[in-house]
Amino acid sequence: MMSSVTPEVSQARRAEYPVDPAVLNRWSTRAFLKKEVPETTLLSVLEAAHWAPSAFNAQPWRFIVARTPEEREKFFSFIGEFNLGWCSQAPVLILIVSKTVTDKGDFPSYAFDAGAAWGILSLEAVKQGLATHAMTGFDFAKARETLGIPQEYAIQALVALGYPGPKESLPQGLQEREVPSPRVPVKEVLFEGTFGHPFK
């Protein structure tokens, strides 16, 4: 467990109930250092993600990793202009896809299960001193074609991963947005017993 919330995060986030500081320290930075992530560190992050729970232990997630200049250039070809303006600095890009069928037929929880893997990935990244930012601002069809993704796999999200950098490295318009975002009070997202019934 991380020992404390970072000073930057403590100014923007305060949990109402006790949680692991890594939960609060995880936020979607856009500023990354031009510093390679050691393979063992990257594999630790992916190792954690692949231990996520899934229905029937089907493990539908797959991670397509770009960590060389050539691989990242291939990914750049389908990323939207806005996101490319900041994520091109990240040393690792990870496209998360998930298998929509099993040998028993359609697999309804493929997206939910892949989301669980992404959540664990993002928390392990924090514990390894890394930052992540998931995005969907890219051309899904072009990504499928460029990376040869079979039709039975749904594209979920693209994740930039690396060491957090100074906000001054970002384009001027993004620097003021480079802060941890707050959340609504937890009871605003809770219902008790039936939809719409307040949690008390």
Residue 145's domain is classified under what CATH number? Answer: 3.40.109.10
Q: Is residue 84 part of a domain?
A: yes
Say how many domains are in the chain.
1
Q: Is residue 94 part of a domain?
A: yes
pLDDT computed for residue 86 by the predictor: 94
pLDDT computed for residue 104 by the predictor: 83
pLDDT computed for residue 7 by the predictor: 86
Q: Is residue 174 part of a domain?
A: no
Q: Is residue 40 part of a domain?
A: yes
CA distances from residue 164 to 34, 51, 55, 181 in whole angstroms, order as listed: 9, 25, 34, 16
Complete DSSP assignment for 60-91: -EEEEEE-SHHHHHHHHTTB-HHHHHHHTT-S
Q: Is residue 184 part of a domain?
A: no
Low-confidence ranges of the chain (pLDDT < 70): 1-2
pLDDT computed for residue 131 by the predictor: 97
Q: Is residue 153 part of a domain?
A: yes
pLDDT computed for residue 154 by the predictor: 98
pLDDT computed for residue 1 by the predictor: 42
Range(s) of the domain holding residue 87: 30-164
